[in-house]
Chains A and B, each alone.
Chain A
């Protein structure tokens, strides 16, 4: 089973990962853009939840790096933040990320968003 990769600082990450695990998903966690890329290589996730801001890295830059790797060109990436970044629907962000989710989102919102971005046969 391919995992969902949650990339964020410890506090929001654990909460989101726990909700996903309780919902039956296989979850991998990373605390920086760099470790996310390394992890993505080894686990090939089917979806990535990526915080815009992390202590040690910039989620948008990490997403851009992932996009440049051919294996991850069509991997859904959902941004986590407090407000959708300005220009989310325009280039260069539009091709970078598949969606946005409030980092404090409820379990219900989180699961609905995740479900809507997974391939149909993977839900």
Chain B
């Protein structure tokens, strides 16, 4: 059979039809001829289709109603119904089923059209050759398959469309919204119904940053694609950052707009930027702080270095002074140990090295001071004044010989005021002391010699001249008594007067030189007499008080010193003071004699006077001081210009005058 061969040849067509379909298409063959039904069924089965068959219109409709059929191969001429009726019925009941009409060979074009108008999807004419049949069936089913795939795809698309978080708008070329998804509703806070039919451009008007919406819209339709970002201004006044991706004409008259809300992302970006900026600021700030700290530390290090160098330099200088000084330099503790000593100090005390000295003298008070009491006085003076100048003491050398030293010492204290140690400079003044002692001895001898000489002259004057004058006066008296010639008597009386005056002057002279009363009657009586006479002569009242001198004799040198001081002081009053009155107090108490001579005269500046060279001094201050010094006393002169002058003399009588030293 030629047809069979042709069918066999068509096998190749089946392949691309069955692919991708789990179930083969099912085809219902409807023909009143059993032969043709069998032929078609065999043909279709060999092409990979499932087949069913029906011999009438009624059976066809029953099978279609009860079974899933994809395509009906329908003979338009059936015994019970017209093919067009069956077709209409199938299309109305099951519109998805394809209908392929098979018409008789003589079927007119009007029949074919009638069949198509009944809803048939295609027709072929008898006699049917296998190729034509399969080509038609395949073509129709290919379309169905495509549609199915499309429907499936569209279902997928829909699912994505409905559930995506991006807002999607399907709009026509006029920008009217045709479809949109729930995300779009959520973004715009509008319902689907409110937006469908509205122009999409109206929804984004004022937000989309296109220059001219309508022009750009046409441009977009031409270009087919646009993307970008804009700030969406919503009807409630809020804004959202939006990224959009628009595709034109994905279908005819259909354009897709996808809007993505990137507000959160923008915020995150901004937050990151801010954090970054802040970090940068922090880094800048921190860097500045580090630089400040570095600058400070550098400065500090430089300062410290400078101070350190200055300190080192000072130390070296001190070290140099310490090592090379002629004076002894030391540090010693309050409990009497040397902390340090320089070579000069060691030499001064007969040691080979400072170390030896420090090692040897563990108790300065006992091992160093000849008179331990002196140490106590030293400590007290430092405690009171913080510093002592020219403190003199006798100290033992290593060989127990004694030297005189003079010290300048100050106390070193910590911040709380606690005494840490003494620091001082020592000078060996033994030689000076000896010279001084010698000088004083000479002075003392001189004074004594002078006193002795004065006493001798005074005695001589008093004893011999005084006696002679007394005798002369007596002679003159008896001469006058024996002469009765008046002019001669007058002459004698004048000689008597002269002689009396001479006797008085002699008396004065004797008293000035050396009052015999001082040797004979004692200091108090001699002074009393002298003061009375002085007062009478100068016409200045003197207030004289004494205490402890009645019937008490002192060392003769001391007595004459006191007498001379009063004499000198009164001389000064007479010569310079222009005083109205003078007060003298003489007092003896235990081992101390005090003399105070006070006047209310013009006074003077003591310091100024002491500064002037001795030879220019107005009166015997120096004499007074030397005399007092010889008997181990002190003189203080206080004078205020316009107020008066006070001379204070204190003499310690407990000491042996001969061995007295200046301290």
- A→B interface (CB under 8 Å): 52-53, 58-61, 64, 81-83, 85-86, 92, 103
A83–B288 alpha-carbon span in the complex (Å): 11
Q: Is the CB of B293 within 8 A of A85?
A: yes
**What separation, in Å, do the CA atoms of A35 and B300 have in the docked complex?**
21
Which 3 pairs show the lowest CB-CB distances between chains A and B? Answer: A60-B296, A53-B288, A85-B293
A52 x B300 contact (CB < 8 A)? no
Number of A-B contacts (CB under 8 A): 39
Tell me the B482-509 residues at the A interface (CB within 8 Å).
none
Cβ B282 vs Cβ A52 within 8 A: no
| Pairs across A and B, CB under 8 Å, 15 listed | A52-B289, A53-B285, A53-B288, A53-B289, A53-B292, A58-B296, A60-B293, A61-B295, A61-B296, A82-B285, A83-B286, A83-B289, A85-B293, A92-B297, A92-B300
Query: B299 an interface residue at 8 Å Cβ cutoff?
Result: yes
Chain B residue numbers with a CB within 8 Å of A82 are 282, 285-286, 289
A65 and B289 CA atoms in complex are apart in Å by 18
Residue from the set A59, A60, A61, A86 with the largest chain B CB neighbour count within 10 Å: A60
Docked Cα-Cα span, A83 to B287, in Å, equals: 10
A57 to B, closest residue via Cβ: B292
- The interface size of chain B toward A, counting residues with CB under 8 Å, comes to 14
Q: Once the chains are docked, how many angstroms separate the CA of A64 from the CA of B296? A: 9
Q: Please indicate the chain A residues that have their CB under 8 angstroms from the CB of B291 in the complex.
A: 53
| Structural contact, B286 and A60, CB atoms closer than 8 A | no
Q: Is the CB of B282 within 8 A of A58?
A: no
Given contacts A52-B292, A60-B293, A86-B290, 14 further A-B contacts (CB under 8 A): A52-B293, A53-B285, A53-B289, A58-B292, A58-B295, A60-B295, A61-B295, A61-B296, A61-B299, A64-B296, A82-B285, A83-B286, A85-B290, A86-B293
Would you list which residues of chain B between 533 and 572 have a CB under 8 Å from chain A?
Answer: none
- Report A29 CB to chain B, min CB distance, Å: 20
B217-274 with Cβ < 8 A to chain A: none
Tell me, in angstroms, the Cα distance from A81 to B296 when the chains sit together. 15
Partner of B292, one of A60, A83, A103: A60
Q: Within the assembled complex, what's the spacing in Å between the Cα atoms of A39 and B74?
A: 113
- Whether the pair B295, A85 counts as a contact (CB closer than 8 A) is no
> How distant is the Cα of A58 from the Cα of B300 in the complex, in angstroms?
13
Q: How far is the CB of A104 from chain B (nearest CB, A)?
A: 9
Using A64-B300, A92-B300 as known contacts, say yes or no to A81 and B295 having CB atoms under 8 A apart. Answer: no
A60 to B290, alpha carbons, bound, how many Å? Answer: 11
Closest CB-CB distance, B231 to chain A, in whole Å? 31
Please name all residues of chain A whose beta carbon is closer than 8 Å to the beta carbon of B293 when the two chains form the complex: 52, 60, 85-86
CB neighbours (8 Å) of B292 from chain A are 52-53, 58-60
